[in-house]
């Protein structure tokens, strides 16, 4: 796996493009723009709205490296390394917070999955361990433990304000010479003889040596407009923030299907996944009552304290048939980054770096090669945050 290009790498001289357009100013697009610019590429970052104004700004901001599969573990580890390196720059901060996940008594399927995953994570040098109910009570006394069959904790974990990361990376990209054009919607074309191009609202067309489409839920439609089909579906997820005065770690109750994390307002609670395709231009931004009621009840059940809801909202994630991203070159000079199953923000520092490396002439990440699909595959949307693997 080519997970990153070191700052002192000798880049290919024949394959590296001179000009690149990155379409999408979220966490991944801004990272890729920065990594391309810092290696001397003439980069233009296009964002239809505000930087971080889409799904990245609505993300949970939970970060951890606890993955059992080796490629995922290396990607997550690199992302954590970079989050820490960016800590304290601009408005971005990375707050160390343990990540606990658990299955309740009677939920044998998820409990067995946790027991099976942790040794595999440790084999990938992840700092994780299994906890029984007594261990959980001793280390995290603010979490209810009497109904827990098994839990696990990842020490290499933290939380961030996701809305602060893309602006930081866009600013760093500008400092390296990139051009950032917010409030600039564009279309993508790949039928030119001189390379892929972007088309503005007034019809002006600019050709680049390479174009990366990292436009979140809109990526599929942008590529379809360019005559390229990808098997990706946007789906809706929900979260809320609440006034809460107890000290808790980040926790995912796999049986309840709810996660919670410390937040400046007190607590952030989320999931509320709708396992069906959403329209990226026409979806409900506010959270649903059923989610809010269920989330409040789940927090009260897990912590013994009922939170007071401050704000509740919805965002869009993107799904693929095999739940792995589409990351890399689709056609000559045209690359894609999408399909992150709810793990896009937390892996963006590494995956943005990896797709930039491929554009610069590197190998990319073979498992995430977007050409592994024909583009017209039928599949169901499946929640990304699960443990039964």
Q: What is the pLDDT of residues 355-380, one digit of tens each?
A: 999 999 999 999 999 999 999 999 99
DSSP letter assigned to residue 287:
P
Question: Residue 319 and residue 382: Cα distance in Å, rounded?
Answer: 7
CA atoms within 13 A on the CB side of 325: 32
Return d(Cα 373, Cα 132) in angstroms, integer: 42
Lowest average pLDDT, out of 6-20, 76-90, 138-152, goes to 6-20
Q: 96-158+233-319: what fold?
A: D-Amino Acid Oxidase; Chain A, domain 2 (3.30.9)
- State the span(s) of the chain assigned CATH 3.50.50.60: 1-95+159-232+320-389
CA distances from 230 to 197, 215, 219, 225 (A): 19, 13, 9, 12
Cβ neighbours, 10 Å, residue 77 = 18
User: 54 burial class (0-12, 13-18, 19+ CB within 10 angstroms)?
Assistant: buried
Instruction: Report whether pLDDT(15) > 50.
Output: yes
For CATH 3.30.9.10, list the domain ranges present in the chain: 96-158+233-319
Q: Look at strands 19-23 and 210-213 and give their pairing.
A: parallel
d(CA 169, CA 25): 10
C-alpha span between 271 and 171 (Å, rounded): 31
Residue 296 clears pLDDT 70, i.e. is over it: yes
> How does residue 4 score in pLDDT terms, banded at 50, 70 and 90?
very low
Provide the 8-state DSSP code for 118.
H
**How would you list the strands of the sheet with 205-207, edge to edge?**
187-189, 197-199, 205-207
**CB count in 10 Å sphere of residue 234:** 25
> How confident is the model at residue 192, as a pLDDT?
67
What is the distance between the alpha carbons of residues 132 and 130, in angstroms, rounded to a whole number? 7
Helix (H) or strand (E) holding 85: helix 70-86
Of 384 and 255, more confident: 255
Has residue 319 got a pLDDT over 50?
yes
Q: What is the pLDDT of residue 7?
A: 45
Whole-model pTM?
A: 0.95
Q: Please name every residue paired with 211 in a beta bridge, in sequence order, or none if there are none.
A: 21, 334
State the Cα–Cα distance between residues 103 and 133, nearest whole angstrom: 11
Query: Residues 6 or more apart from 61 whose CB is under 8 A from it?
Result: 159, 160, 161, 162, 261, 268, 345
pLDDT value for 14:
66
For residue 134, what are the contacts with CB-CB under 8 A and spacing of at least 6?
145
Which residues, 6 or more positions from 135, have their beta carbon under 8 angstroms from its beta carbon?
151
In this predicted structure, what is the pLDDT of residue 388? Answer: 56
Q: How far apart are CA 351 and CA 337, in angstroms?
A: 8
Which has the closest alpha carbon to 352: 33, 81, 54?
Answer: 33
The pLDDT value recorded for residue 107 is: 97
Instruction: Encode pLDDT of 160-213 as tens digits.
Output: 999 999 999 999 999 999 999 999 999 999 876 678 999 999 999 999 999 999
- Decide if pLDDT at 13 tops 60: no
Q: Could you tell me the CATH superfamily of domain 1-95+159-232+320-389?
A: FAD/NAD(P)-binding domain (3.50.50.60)
């Amino acid at each position: 796996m080519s997970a990153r290009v070191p700052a002192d790498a000798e880049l290919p001289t024949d394959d590296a493009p001179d000009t690149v357009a990155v379409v999408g100013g979220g966490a991944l697009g801004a990272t890729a723009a920065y990594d391309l610019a810092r290696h001397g590429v003439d980069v233009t970052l296009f964002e239809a709205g505000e930087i971080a104004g889409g799904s990245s700004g609505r993300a949970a901001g939970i970060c951890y490296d606890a993955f059992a599969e080796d490629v995922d573990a290396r990607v997550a580890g690199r992302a954590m390394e970079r989050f820490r390196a960016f800590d304290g720059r601009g408005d971005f901060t990375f707050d160390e917070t343990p990540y606990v996940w658990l299955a309740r008594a009677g939920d044998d399927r998820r409990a067995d999955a946790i027991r099976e995953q942790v040794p595999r994570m440790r084999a990938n040098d992840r700092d994780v361990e299994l906890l029984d109910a007594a261990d959980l009570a001793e280390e995290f006394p603010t979490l209810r433990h009497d109904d827990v069959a098994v839990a696990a904790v990842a020490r290499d974990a933290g939380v961030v304000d996701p809305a602060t990361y893309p602006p930081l990376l866009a600013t760093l990209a500008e400092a390296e010479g990139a051009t950032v054009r917010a409030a600039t919607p564009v279309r993508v074309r790949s039928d030119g003889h001189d390379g892929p191009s972007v088309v503005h609202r007034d019809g002006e067309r600019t050709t680049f040596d390479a174009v990366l489409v990292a436009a979140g839920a809109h990526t599929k439609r942008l590529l379809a407009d360019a005559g390229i089909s990808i098997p990706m579906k946007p789906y809706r997820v929900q979260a809320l923030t609440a006034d809460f005065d107890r000290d808790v770690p980040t926790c995912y109750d796999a049986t309840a299907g709810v996660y919670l994390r410390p937040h400046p307002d007190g607590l952030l609670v989320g999931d509320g996944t709708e396992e069906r395709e959403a329209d990226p231009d026409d979806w409900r931004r506010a959270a649903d009552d059923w989610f809010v009621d269920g989330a409040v009840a789940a927090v009260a059940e897990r912590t013994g304290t009922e939170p007071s809801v401050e704000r509740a909202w919805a965002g869009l994630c993107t799904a693929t048939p095999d739940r792995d991203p589409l990351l890399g070159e689709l056609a000559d000079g045209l690359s894609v980054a999408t399909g992150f199953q709810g793990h896009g923000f937390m892996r963006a520092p590494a995956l943005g770096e990896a797709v930039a490396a491929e554009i610069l002439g590197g190998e990319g990440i073979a498992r995430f090669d977007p050409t592994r699909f024909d583009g017209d595959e039928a599949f169901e949307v499946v929640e990304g945050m699960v443990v039964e693997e």
